[in-house]
Structure 1
Amino acid sequence: MRVFLVTLHSKFIHASLALPYLAAYGREAVEAKISLGEFTVHEPKEQIIAAILAEQPDIVAFSIYIWNRRMTLEVADAIATIAPGVQIVLGGPEISFDGPELFQRHPGVTGLIRGEGEAPFREFLQRRAKGIDPAGVPRTLWRTAEGLVEGPSSPPLADLDAIPSPFAAELVDLSRGFVYLETSRGCPYQCSFCMSSLDPGVRSFSMERIRSDLDILMTREIPKIKLVDRTFNYDPLRAEEIFAFILKNNRSSHFHFEIGANLLDGATIRLLKQVPEGMFQFEIGIQSASPDTLKAIRRPITLEKIHDNLERLRRETRITLHLDLIAGLPHEGYSRFLSSMDRIQALAPHHLQIEPVKLLPGSPLRREARERGIRFDPNPPYTVLTTPQLSFVEMEKLRGLSRLVDLTYNSGNFSGFLAGLAARCGSFSNALEKLQTFWSHRRLFRFPLQQRDIFERLREFVEEQFAAEEALVLKELLACDLARCERPAGEGMPALFDTSLTAAEQAAVQKKVREESAKVKGLGIKIQHFATVFCHLPQFHPRTVVLFIYRIQTGKRMTVEEVRLRIE
């Protein structure tokens, strides 16, 4: 029996964890060749079909998600047409709540697995190997000659260690530089927009298993390890033990965790002070700063405690903080959402993500949508379109704000300019609203922009929207930001700099550059520089030459030093 497990990623760098789990658990039960096929949605469909058929499979099982549903079903239909004897099985979060209509639209589909797939898929393989009809396997919907047969419900695996480690079995592709790791399943929260609200509590792999998997990945020096636990620190003592193990044994890997900020305790924060810069990133779903909204989505968190813990993390640790807000939730209109955004941005996270809520199949919020007056796109990714508190036009404005947050705030390259703009507009959200109006009128959301293009558009925005003196100050802030992230040189540079240095100023610049070059001679460090005049920012009155020194070394990030030269 030849079994081919298939998924289509959104990016090549992603490596599946679900398929290796299925293969590891299935191999223990049956004598079969179980192979994995990982493709992307960007590959030609015909090439994917050819690669699958080249395996000469008896069974093809597809793992389906929001981003690959349409293309996966097209591939499945083609496989069924070309090789009607192949059994096609579907599973994954995107397909788990489909029913008979799926089988009507896709007559080549043999079976559907609901929820966690390891146990039902293994039982299906066992029955198939023994020649027993698989119809009736728990948590499956199966096509038979007599019609569709729905299997009974069943609990998920209680002992996660029963699934052999896919890392120890060398089933996970570790060559892509990015690996998913799971240490627990389920979530302590019951948020109505999230599929994890359907899980019966939280289950954890044993600490022995967690250490073993981590040791494999850290020994291989995987560049980025993303923990997919819904709330990694649901048990603070468990989380602290894992953090300590990583700190003791990590070589060079970067770790991404999703945590609950309100669950952090003093002991954990004290431990996290030891984390070196660049090792940990915390993604924290605030979702909303409105108590009414949090109550409506059944997310019982204390905003004050979250605020205090985030301030401590930002002040006392070197952990990268990524905070999430969700637009379109119940009871949160446009102005209230902007208030949430200002409150969260004031915590100075390194990244701020703003996304419209997705009404996922099977989620409680989707079931409540009609009652709550929420309208959403019926096609993946099922994004909210309007709510009683939020019109479609307002939702589009929030999408624009989200895009601008990504282009400016999250890039880390516009911090001075954004602070100055927010001060003049009254708030961070007011500043982005003003910028969003300009971006929309110029139709700039339609096309991708390179970094220099963004600086140039911001220069045009400032000159169009602000009086002369304010514009001069904002443009100097923009110029400082640009010089801090790249050396201004070449064609296409925004007209932000005054490089008309006097002879004395030029001599001072050259002297300083010679001194800095002498310091790094023989160290494999290349020195570049850029000098400009600033006059309008208070710290540069009445005239200051600022020398930016760029140190470039192979294999390391460029560093920038800013030197102020006052020539008497």
Structure 2
Amino acid sequence: MKIIASTLNAKYIHTNLAIRYLKAAAAPEYNVELAEYTIKDPVMNIVSDLFTKKPDVIGFSCYIWNIEETIRVIQMLKKIMPELTIILGGPEVTYDTVYWLQRLPEIDIIVMGEGEETFKHLLSEIQGEKDFSSVPGIGYMENGKVKINPQRNKIDLRELPSPYRFEEDLPHLSKRVIYIETSRGCPFNCQFCLSSIEVGVRYFNREKIKDDIRFLMDHGARTIKFVDRTFNISRSYAMEMFQFLIDEHKPGTVFQFEITGDIMRPEVIQFLNDNAPKGLFRFEIGVQSTNDLTNELVKRRQNFEKLTRTVTMVKDGGKIDQHLDLIAGLPEEDYQSFRKTFNDVFALRPEELQLGFLKMLRGTGLRLRAKEHQYIFMDHAPYEILGNNILSFDDIVRIKQVEDVLEKYWNDHRMDQTIEYLVSNIFETPFDFFQEFGAYWEEKGWSRIGHQLEDLFKRLQSFLRTIPQASQQINTIEGLMKYDYLHNQRYKPRKPWWSYEVDKAERNKVYKAIVEKPDVLDKNLRSMNLSEKDLLKHTIVEKVPFSLDIYLNSGQINQATDSYMVVYYEPKSGQSSIYSLCI
């Protein structure tokens, strides 16, 4: 019997942990072949590839991001391989099994919930007597009627075989995100989240997990993401794993965690600040909303004061990047309330601020009680909301404009100094900057066309010249934009987005001053004994309308004097250094 476990990932760099657990659990009695694709792959290509494998059974792992594409695949497969047994599993089909069986006659069986033991049991029945009534935790059609078998008891996670050691995965470990699961379940009851449905938290065997992580690192894994819903729910467990990862990590490896910010103890953060190498860890923290009524309605207990303490303490440590999440469209959070939530969280200056929109996931409390808040939402995945009793579709469209420019101008860190100046000095709040710029961006039609790096600077410049308070300080702002652009280049740019203000004669004057008085530069650059020819080849000189020296040292803008910005690009390392020079 030829068996395939398949899925459509959102991106090529992702890997699916679920189908690997199924493969591991089915062995040694059954040899399950893995077949991963992406939602961007043409359906015909996926179907053709699966067809050539000549399977008897295919199981698909289904989520909101891939269900519609998966449906097209299985419908085509059944037409060309009517004897093929198609099994679906995953969160998208677990919580509305009757609906999917009635909607799609191509589905033979749906596995509900944890699938490791169920899948193996099911394979034995497919190969044998086909007595599906004996298999707990599945749904299927029998004589035109839906049959739902009660789910089995929870699996003892400590006994599950490792899904991380398949020979076929080893060549790809360095190129993909590797997902690690050390626990299942969530202690919280947030009504917008599927994790709230499962009661309690269960842990895998710690030592086996540590051995798996060692194995993955030894074979080249670079990005390892823990999928535990709340990694730090147990302080002792989190500390043990943090210490292990600090002790055992390989250079270049990054570990990502989802943590709950307001329960993170200060002594844990201090331990990380003192001991973790910079860049080793990355935290994802779901804030979602700072509206107390909203959090109460979705049964989300959150102490924003303690969360702020955590985020601030981590940021001050300078060791760990933080990704904070917001959800627009939660109950009783109208446009102005969301504006406040955004500003509350942006004030923490996370390295990344993710703005998402509420999705009415099957099985969640919010979807079951959607009428209470007059929710309207998409009929098909991802079930994103289109409005509710206090948030109109027009409001949602406006917030989506914020999302677009937030990603390009804050999360990608192309213009940190410029954006900081704008949100602190020019616009009333950070949200207002992103909202006004986002609306301008949409009005110009830029969301429908591509862009290069230089375009982002030109478009921001174009927008700012329409804002009276910005146009009054446009020279200063453009000076910061030039700083950001030059500072973030790895090599000397050939054609920046502006016309140089420093002509050849003035530039040569600066170079001559540097050669005659090298003390104006730092000792590393002085030690290179650069000639005027070297400077010409590896530096850019530009004038800014403020004291760059004061700005670099204090962050303050002093417009009493202009200064030269000298940017040196080290040819071997691709590193840039910026110096201030007054002549």
TM-score above 0.5, yes or no: yes
- What is aligned with 1:217? 216
- TM-superposition CA deviations, 1:105-126 (whole Å, max 9, x none): 4322211111221122122112
Of 507, 512, 517, which aligns to 1:507?
512
Deviation digits for residues 332-383 of structure 1, max 9, x if unmatched? 1111111111111111111111111111111111111111212111121111
| The 10-residue stretch of structure 1 (323-332 or 93-102) with the greater mean CA deviation from structure 2 | 93-102
Structure 1 position 101, deviation (Å): 4.4
Matches of 1:40 and 1:374 in 2, distance apart? Answer: 31
Equivalent position SS for 1:135: helix
- Range with bigger deviation, 526-535 or 235-244: 526-535
**Per-residue deviation at 1:171?**
6.4
Instruction: Please say if residues 4 and 57 of structure 1, whose CA atoms lie closer than 8 Å, have aligned partners that are also in contact.
Output: yes
Corresponding residue to 2:468 among 466, 469, 474: 466
CA distance in structure 1 between the aligned counterparts of 2:241 and 2:127, rounded to whole angstroms: 40
CA gap 1:264/1:170 in 2 versus in 1, 3 angstroms: farther
Alignment correspondent of 1:345: 346
Q: Deviations over 1:492-544 (max 9, x none)?
A: x322642232653242356669996774699xx99822110112464463221
Q: Which moved more, 1:97-106 or 1:372-381?
A: 97-106
Deviations 1:247-270 (A, max 9, x none): 000012111110011121133112
RMSD between superposed Cα atoms in Å: 2.4
The answer on whether the counterparts of 2:23 and 2:31 sit within 8 Å (CA) in structure 1 is: no
Deviation at 1:10? 1.6
Higher helix share: 2
How far, CA to CA, are the matches of 2:291 and 2:63 in structure 1?
30
- Cα pair distance change 1:536/1:460, threshold 3 Å: farther
1:106 aligns with 2:116: no
Distance in 1 of aligned mates of 2:401 and 2:153: 42
Deviations 1:424-456 (A, max 9, x none): 112211222221232122122222322211101
Counterparts of 1:550 and 1:191, CA distance in 2: 50
Whether 1:482 aligns to 2:485 is yes
Q: Does 1:447 align with 2:487?
A: no
Q: CA deviation at 1:18?
A: 0.7
Please state if 1:535 is matched with 2:535.
no
Asked if the contact 1:166–1:172 (Cα under 8 Å) also holds between the matched residues in 2, the reply is no
Q: Distance in 1 between matches of 2:417 and 2:467?
A: 18
Change over 3 Å in CA distance of 1:517–1:131 after alignment to 2: same
Residues 440/50 of structure 1: CA separation in 2 closer, same or farther (3 Å cut): closer
For residues 57-77 of structure 1, what are the alpha-carbon distances to aligned partners after superposition, in whole Å with 9 as ceiling and x for unaligned? 111111111221122111111
8 Å contact from structure 1 (residues 67, 380) kept in 2: yes
2:551 matched to which residue of 1?
none
Aligned mates of 2:78, 2:507 — CA distance in 1: 76
- Mark the CA change 1:293 to 1:275 in structure 2 (over 3 Å): closer, same or farther: same
Note if 1:163 corresponds to 2:160: yes
Deviation >6 Å, runs of 4+: 513-518
- Classify the secondary structure of the residue corresponding to 1:155: coil
Contact 1:259 1:283 in 2 (8 A): yes
Question: Gaps (5+ residues) in structure 1?
Answer: none
Counterpart check, 1:416 vs 2:426: no
Q: Which amino acid aligns with 1:485?
A: N
Q: Does residue 438 in structure 1 map to residue 440 in structure 2?
A: yes
Query: Counterparts in 2 of 1:349-368, with a 5 A limit?
Result: 349-368=350-369
Residue identity opposite 1:481 in structure 2: D
- 1:23 equivalent to 2:23? Answer yes
1:123-163 alpha-carbon deviations (Å, 9 max, x no partner):
21122333241235222111234633211133331x11221
Per-residue Cα deviation, 1:405-429 (whole angstroms, up to 9, x for no partner):
1100111121221122121112211
Determine if contact 1:193/1:364 at 8 Å carries over to the other structure: yes
1:244-323 maps to which residues of 2 (within 5 A)? 244-252=243-251, 253-273=253-273, 274-323=275-324
How far does the alpha carbon of each residue in 1:226-273 deviate from its partner, in whole angstroms, 9 at most, with x for none?
111111111111011001000000012111110011121133112211
SS at structure 2 position matched to 1:191: coil
- Specify the SS of the correspondent of 1:283: strand
How far is the alpha carbon of 1:48 from its aligned partner? 1.5
* Segment drifting more, 269-278 vs 499-508: 499-508
Check conservation: 1:16, 1:172, Cα contact below 8 A. Answer: no
- Cα gap change, 1:489 to 1:98, in 2 (>3 Å): same
| AA in 1 matched with 2:83 | G
Match of 1:403 in 2: 404
Does structure 1 conserve the Cα–Cα contact (< 8 Å) formed by 2:187 and 2:199? no
CA distance in 1, matches of 2:268, 2:354: 25
How does the TM-score come out when normalised to structure 2?
A: 0.90
Q: Which residue of 1 aligns with 2:177?
A: 178
Aligned pair in 2 of structure 1 residues 151, 5: CA closer, same or farther (>3 Å)? Answer: same
- What is the CA–CA distance in structure 2 between the aligned matches of 1:73 and 1:146, rounded to whole Å? 20
Question: CA separation in 2, counterparts of 1:101 and 1:272?
Answer: 47
SS in 2 for 1:193: coil
Aligned pair count reads 558
Q: What's the % identity of the aligned pairs?
A: 28
Give me the TM-score of the superposition, normalised by structure 1. 0.93
Amino acid at match of 1:89: I
Q: d(CA) in 1 for partners of 2:332 and 2:154?
A: 34
Cα distance between partner residues in 2 of 1:270 and 1:354: 29
Match of 1:46 in 2: 44
1:198 maps to 2:217: no
Partner of 2:552: none
1:380 corresponds in structure 2 to: 381
CA drift of 1:466 comes to 3.0
Name the stretch that deviates more: 386-395 or 499-508: 499-508
Contact 2:101 2:140 in 1 (8 A): no
- 1: distance between equivalents of 2:69 and 2:201? 33
Amino acid at match of 1:27: A
Measured in 1, the distance between the counterparts of 2:153 and 2:350 equals 39
1:152-185 alpha-carbon deviations (Å, 9 max, x no partner):
133331x112210012454645433321111111
User: Which residue does 1:189 correspond to in 2?
Assistant: 188
Quote the Cα distance in structure 2 between the aligned partners of 1:137 and 1:338.
50
Q: 1:3 to 1:515 in 2, by over 3 A?
A: same
Measure, in 2, the Cα distance between the counterparts of 1:381 and 1:18.
Answer: 20
| Residue type at the aligned position of 2:370 | A
